[in-house]
Structure formats: structure tokens, C-alpha cells
Amino acid sequence: MIPRGTIRVPGDKSISHRALMLGALAEGTGQIRGILQSADVHSTAHVLRTLGVQVEPLGEVTHVTGRGLRGLLAPSTSLQCGNSGTTTRLMSGIVAGHSFSARFEGDESLSRRPMQRIAKPLTQMGATFTFDHGDGLPMTIHGRDLLPIHWDSPTASAQIKSAILLAGLVAQVPVSVTEPERSRDHTERMLASLGAEVMVDGTTVSLPVVHRLSPMNVTVPGDPSSAAFFAALAALAPDAELRLTNVSLNPTRIGFFNVLQRMGARVQYEDQDQCAGEPIGTIIPSGGTIRGVQIGGEEIPTLVDELPMLACLATRAEGETVIHGAAELRVKESDRIATVVQNLRTLGATAEELPDGMRITGNDAPLRGRVTTHGDHRIAMAFAILGALPGNQIEIDDPACVEVSYPNFWSDLARVTT
């Protein structure tokens, strides 16, 4: 099997969410081209419609008519967030700065994910949160005029940072966030492209008072997290001929490709350009002798969503791969540390669970068995790449869960491997 072809991976999920939200807060009608038409992004569109925003059905070109910074309407029903943590946490910041209450609900998986991490700073700003039980959904936010804040975040989290920035934006108060390491910066880049004055000093981001946002006019680049699956496939095939076009090359998102090179694969970047403050380009990955590596520290926020794929890749590497400093994986769509390690062992790989990561020892023995995804789209796609390799026989228990981020994943995989 030699993967060949050109893939235009779907629009970046993080940018798609933010384009809808900031378009809703702008003044006037804007357009979003190439938005990701996935379940999570549909959740954001649905929540915004519930709050009175005119959002066209998602398509190749999607128009959003903004209501201004504080123009959202009190919802008459709960805000249904589906499986989307980004929808929940970023919209929490927006709702907190409006003078109404809103109840957030989600599916079983989302309801288990922690929300106190955004409730704490937003409560300090003046909003009130009530939880039906524990730390997850359902939760109700009672918004109000908010206070300025500087927040020292205990973890590098773009969702925490963005919730605070968006709360300050709609409340029209200055806010700043300091992180231990720099997290993905799509919110800052998009705000700046719409006319906001965003200041970045190391790992501190500050947003002064913003009076209005210009209408959204953006083309969403391809998602590097989606491109990572096919780059991993190419890395394991020395004669691969894959081109991944129009992908976001945001420095806070390409940690996976840096590690891929460190493991011995080749990664070239061509056709580099800029779009709405985001660097974009074509990624050309190809194989080599893949070696085990250490993955941790400040690079974790730049590849946290790609760690399941790196763990699967490590099973085919020479030597040992150790991932550490990634405790955040335990509160994703599934406990991705436990889920990845359990599935690797089921297939016959050598893997060990660590408190904040995992240890994998590579070999070339065939991998066979059934993968339990727990409905986690990234688990399904990572193990599907392993299953595409000659000699492996891997069954995915819930293939449809990829709809969350990459609806055409299975057809793209079939096209480049047959």
C-alpha cells in the first residue's frame, strides 16, 4: 500500500467555531467560506440561532448577520451543545457578558467534561454559575455587566483563554490571561483581523476595550489536526506521494509535524500564504526510518489533539516513545490516555499508561483486534490509520463518530490507499 493523491482536509474546527461566534458579535453581515460542516460546528451554529443570530445553513459560503457585541437575545430554550466542548466553553464567555441567563446542555460525553475551569475566572468577573451536579453539564450561567480581570491560568488552554477574551469583548472591559505555555492563538488572530487591538507579551495575552467588530469575511483553512492523520500514514510509507493542500500552518498548531520530523519522517511546506491572519500552505509528508522520541513540555499544547495519532505511530517506531505532561488528555471526549493504551494492548502493541501520558515500545508485529472508541472521533481516526497498514487487521467499533470533525474521513482514506 503506497498512499498517493491530493487531499483538501476539511476546514479547521477551531477557526470555524470562532468565525461563527465573532461573526455573530460583529456589526453587519459577513461571510465564511470553507467552514467545517461537522457535528461540532453545527452545534455552535444552532446555539447562536437560539440566541437570535441569523446564521445561514452551513455551506461552501455561509453568511452570518451579526447583532453587535451585546446584541444577543435571551434564549427561550436550553443551549444544546451536542458533543462540543469548544461551543460550550467559548459561548460561556459570550453569555456571561450579557444580561440574561442561559442553560447549557450536551450529550453524555460532553456532560462529563469539566467546566469549573472556565466558571472560576468568569465568576471572578461577576457572572454566576449553577451546576445540576458536579463539574459538568447541565449548567446555567447568569450573565451581567462584568469586571476587568487578569487571570493566571494553571494550564495552557485555548478554551479558557478564549472564554475570558470573549467575555471581556462583549462586556467591553479590559482582560488579560497568562498561561504556563502558549496555547493555540486563533481567537487572538481573528480578533486582530476584525480590528481589535490584541497585545501579546510572551505567554500573556491582553485585550483592551473593543467598541465594535467589523463584519466577518474569512476563508477557513484546512485543519492541521485532520491533516495529521494522513501525514502519519505517509510517514509509514517510504514511497508515499501525498499532498495536503491549504492547511493552517499556525505555529501553535503544527507541533505534530515538528515531532514527525524528529521521528525521522520528512515534511515539506509549499505554497505558503496568509489568510485572515493565519499562515497557510501545502504539506508534503513522506516516510523514513521512524524512531521513538520523548514528547512533552511546552510542545504539548501545540499537538494535544494529535497525541493519539502519535501514540499509534509510535507502535511502528524503532525503540521507545514516551509522552508526558499531557494530563489534559484525561478530560477530552474520552480519557484518551486510558483509551489509547487499552486499545493498543488489545491489538497486541506494547504500551503503558502513565499518570500524565504513556509509554509505547515499537515493533513490527501485526496488530489485530477491535478498537473501542468511546465515541471519540480522534481515537477512531488514529487507529484507522494503523488499520490501513499492510498486515494489520483493525476494526473500529463506531466509525460514524468521525462526523464530529471529519465527515469525509473514510472516503478520503479509501481514495488514497486504493
What residues are labeled active site? 305
CA distance 53 to 100: 16
Instruction: Count the residues in the chain.
Output: 418
CB 161 within 8 A of CB 175: no
In a 3-state reduction of DSSP, which class is residue 360? strand
**Contact predicate 123/149, CB 8 Å:** no
Residue with cell 440561532: 49
Angle, alpha carbons 408-413-417 (nearest 5°)? 155
Cβ 38 vs Cβ 405: under 8 Å: yes
Determine how many CB atoms are found less than 10 A away from the CB of residue 414: 10
Distance CA 53, CA 24 (A): 6
Q: Which of 204, 246, 251 is nearest to 33 (CA)?
A: 246
Strand order in the sheet with 199-201: 149-152, 175-178, 204-207, 199-201
Q: Whole-angstrom Cα distance, residue 288 to residue 278? A: 30
18 HSE (CA, 13 A, CB side): 28
The cell for 122 is 468568569
